[in-house]
Amino acid sequence: MLPSPLPADFIPFNHPHLAGPELEYIRQAAAAGKLSGNGEFTRRCQQFFEQQYGIAKALLTTSGTAALEMAALLLDIQPGDEVIVPSYTFTSTANAFVLRGARIVFADSCPDHPNLNVVQLEPLITPRTRAIVPVHYGGQACDMAALLALAERHNLWVVEDAAQGIEASYQGRPLGTFGHLAAFSFHETKNLSAGEGGLLAVNDPRLATRAEIIWEKGTNRAAFARGEAARYEWVDIGSSFLPSELNAAYLWAQLEARHAIQQRRQQLWEQYEAALAPLAAAGAFGLLPPSPADTWPNWHLFALLCSDEKERDTLLAHLRRQHILAVFHYLPLHASPYFAARHDGRPLPHAVRFGQTLLRLPLYHDLQSEQQERVVAGIRSFYAAD
Q: Choose one of 256, 273, 307: the last residue of a domain.
A: 256
What distance in Å separates the CA atoms of residue 312 and residue 317, rounded to the nearest whole number? 9
Task: In whole angstroms, give the CA distance from residue 143 to residue 291.
Answer: 11
Q: What is the pLDDT of residue 43?
A: 96
Q: In the predicted model, what is the mean pLDDT of the chain?
A: 96
Residues 252 and 262 in one domain: no
On whether both 281 and 199 belong to a single domain, the answer is no
Name the nearest CA neighbour of 114 among 363, 359, 383, 361. 359
- CATH number reported for the structural domain that contains residue 328 in this entry: 3.90.1150.10
Does some domain include residue 49?
A: yes
From the list 2, 5, 10, 40, the residue with the least C-alpha distance to 246 is: 40
Same-domain check for residues 213 and 304: no
122 within some domain: yes
Answer yes or no: is 4 within a domain: no
Share of the chain above pLDDT 90, in %: 92
Q: Which residue has the higher pLDDT, 146 or 329?
A: 146
Q: What percent of the chain has pLDDT over 70?
A: 99
Q: Same structural domain for residues 286 and 239?
A: no
Residue 125 CB partners (closer than 8 Å, separation 6+): 84, 150, 154, 156
Q: Are residues 248 and 264 in the same domain?
A: no
Residue 318 and residue 243 share a domain = no
| pLDDT confidence bin for 386, thresholds 50/70/90 | low
Phi-psi sector, 283: left (phi>0), alpha (psi -120 to 50), beta: left
Residue pair 83/133 in contact (Cβ under 8 Å)? The answer is yes
Model confidence at 1, pLDDT cuts 50, 70, 90, reads low
Residue 209 lies in a domain: yes
Q: Do 332 and 350 contact (CB within 8 A), yes or no?
A: no
Contact 255, 281 (CB under 8 A): no
My answer on whether 275 and 246 are in the same domain is: no
Residue 311: partners with Cβ closer than 8 Å, 6 or more residues away: 357
Q: Which amino acid is at 320?
A: R
pLDDT band for 3, please (50, 70, 90 cuts).
low
Same domain (yes/no): 226, 281 = no
Domain boundary among 225, 256, 287: 256
**Structural domains of the chain, count:** 2
| CA–CA distance, 345 with 207 (Å, rounded to integer) | 35
Looking at residue 172, which CATH number applies to its domain?
A: 3.40.640.10
Per-residue pLDDT, averaged over 149-162, amounts to 98
167, 271: one domain: no
Q: Does some domain include residue 292?
A: yes
**Same domain for 223 and 276?**
no
Judged against a pLDDT cut of 90, whether residue 287 lies above it is answered with yes
Looking at the domain assignment, is residue 1 inside a domain? no
d(CA 304, CA 293): 22
Burial class (CB in 10 A: 0-12, 13-18, 19+), 103: middle
d(CA 296, CA 262): 12
Q: How confident is the model at residue 329, as a pLDDT?
A: 85
Q: Which residues of 182-194 are buried (b: 16+ CB within 10 A; e: fewer)?
A: bbbbbbbbbbbbb
* Domain-embedded: residue 345: yes
264 and 252 in a common domain: no
Residue 10 located in a structural domain: no
SS (H, E, C) the chain: CCCCCCCCCCECCCCCCCCCCHHHHHHHHHHCCCCCCCCHHHHHHHHHHHHHCCCCEEEEECCHHHHHHHHHHHCCCCCCCEEEEECCCCHHHHHHHHCCCCEEEEECECCCCCCECHHHCHHHCCCCEEEECCECHHHCCCCHHHHHHHHHHHCCEEEEECCCCCCCEECCEECCCCCCEEEEECECCCCCCCECCEEEEECCHHHHHHHHHHHECCECHHHHHCCCCCCCCECCCCCECCCCHHHHHHHHHHHHCHHHHHHHHHHHHHHHHHHHHHHHHCCCCEECCCCCCCEECCCCCCEEECCCHHHHHHHHHHHHHCCECCEECCCCHHHCCCCHHHCCCCCCHHHHHHHHHEEECCCCCCCCHHHHHHHHHHHHHHHHCC
pTM attached to this predicted model: 0.96
Q: Domain range for residue 374?
A: 258-384
Pick from 215, 241, 256: which residue ends a domain? 256
**Helix 258-281 and helix 369-384, axial crossing angle in degrees, nearest 10:** 20
Is the pLDDT confidence value at 225 over 90?
no
Note whether 95 and 133 are same-domain residues: yes
User: Could you report the per-residue pLDDT of 346-371, keeping only the tens digit for each?
Assistant: 999 999 999 999 999 999 999 999 99
Beta strands 157-161 and 181-185, pairing class? parallel
